[in-house]
Structure 1
């Protein structure tokens, strides 16, 4: 039982020792690491702390964009060797001071990690910087076709925060660029159409705050445009209606009116109709025959020639 208890105590002791060692190492690493924020166009100098006489100094730069950059200084030859470093990064030497790294007119391409290693008679020393480069946005303010103020904070890093005065409803959108900057576009939509309003766009950014004012939404212009559009639409509708009416009358006016004729019915001939048509002729023949017989009888009785007429 005692052996098991001793083992547990020893295990806890080792665990606590390892934990304290890790914490100490992290604190030392954090003590030798610094965060540095610079604005585009500014300059800065980075120092590397050490003790004793310097033998060798090396700066290693790992930017977010581009290749690795190194600057090595040897005290015995007093020469500096550099590889793939931009022209605005150099070592500067000051009397009684160790060489320092100078960054002139920093750009977005210089953002990254900067590590310094020094070898001296007192030992080796290390210093690390994490450089963040911020870019102030370019502010522009204008009025769109509807008469609403539009504010643009272009190519800012980090993205700018836009606000309006007086307060009102607005819409915002962001456009990201390949170099890490962001353009923020905000449109103010609470503009009154009764009076001319002066609105102010305010830009909040770590590199500096900005503001601009503009007067948009002139009521006369908006009313005039609306009235003009309404007149144009009305005229177009009237013209279309007239053309449709003209076309209709032209299409139907050239056609003569034709009354519908009843279907022709073939006359029906009956036997009675044929009899009625024949009877007058029969009667006429009968009368002729009677007259002829009478004349013949008279001629025979008087012994007259048949070709002579009585009384001739």
Structure 2
């Protein structure tokens, strides 16, 4: 269990004011975390952070000396939003997955301590692609999303979905579908995610059929080849034989 889950949050036993909220932000954006509003003169403000990898950071400001101090805060992307004597908020810019964790602001006043804790979750939108596979299958990917995306299809087919956990806590979802009814001309892949939904469509027919023409002064021969029955690889192997048949047919009709 992570330290930021074991660490006590803001509680009534310690603080006059307490609050814990959950905050979800997009990766590579700017986030500002605020301290509670105190009812009297502020003496000390302390930000205590426990990151997802169990490392920590402490930033503090004393109003009487107008001085700040830091402890194990090496990430330059995390700083005071402005001058701490004007604004106690903490800024993260840009947000990275590693910034996920628990951020607690404690404000010390003559009337007591005020606390606001933020459970920060970082969201990563997946990259969505759709392509035709072999033997009439279609593959939809939602790559490196956080959390994992959900994939559905229209029309519904015989589908198989797998998830791959990546090292940075993102997930790639791959859904492969096959339609027994070869009359399906277009399919759509719908990707549902907390960062936004996406839909991609692809035509099946252009990749599944081949048209062959041969014309003489008297007539044109039109051949319609269904590639699920005769794969394109076989057509390429037998192309010389096909052309020989077509030429023989041409001689017969001239």
* TM-score normalised by structure 2 residue count: 0.72
In structure 2, the partner of 1:190 is 179
In structure 2, the partner of 1:266 is none
Residues paired across the two proteins, number? 206
Structure 1 alignment gaps of length 5 or more = 1-23, 233-312
Conserved? CA contact 1:191–1:197, under 8 Å: no
* Displacement after TM superposition at 1:196 (Å): 5.9
2:106 matched to 1:107?
no
2:54 matched to 1:69?
no
Whole-angstrom CA distance in 1 between matches of 2:111 and 2:82: 21
In structure 2, the partner of 1:132 is 121
Query: What CA deviation, in whole Å up to 9, does each residue of 1:71-127 have, x standing for no partner?
Result: 111223323222324121111236995411112221110111001111123322222
In structure 2, the partner of 1:39 is 26
Report which of the two has the higher share of strand.
2
* TM-score normalised by structure 1 residue count: 0.59
Structure 2 alignment gaps of length 5 or more = 1-10, 210-225, 239-254
Calculate the aligned-residue CA RMSD, in Å: 2.8
Q: 1:149 to 1:30 in 2, by over 3 A?
A: farther
* Displacement after TM superposition at 1:65 (Å): 2.1
In structure 1, the partner of 2:163 is 174
Within a 5 Å distance, the mapping from 1:149-298 to structure 2 comes to: 149-190=138-179, 192-193=181-182, 195=183, 197-216=185-204, 218-219=208-209, 220-225=226-231, 228=234
Structure 1 moving runs of 4+ over 3 Å: 28-31, 93-98
In structure 2, the partner of 1:290 is none
Q: 1:179 to 1:95 in 2, by over 3 A?
A: closer
Say which SS state the counterpart of residue 145 (structure 1) adopts. coil
Conserved? CA contact 2:17–2:115, under 8 Å: no
Q: 1:25 to 1:180 in 2, by over 3 A?
A: same
User: Structure 1 stretch 180-189 or stretch 140-149: which is displaced more?
Assistant: 140-149
* Displacement after TM superposition at 1:143 (Å): 1.1
Report which of the two has the higher share of helix.
1
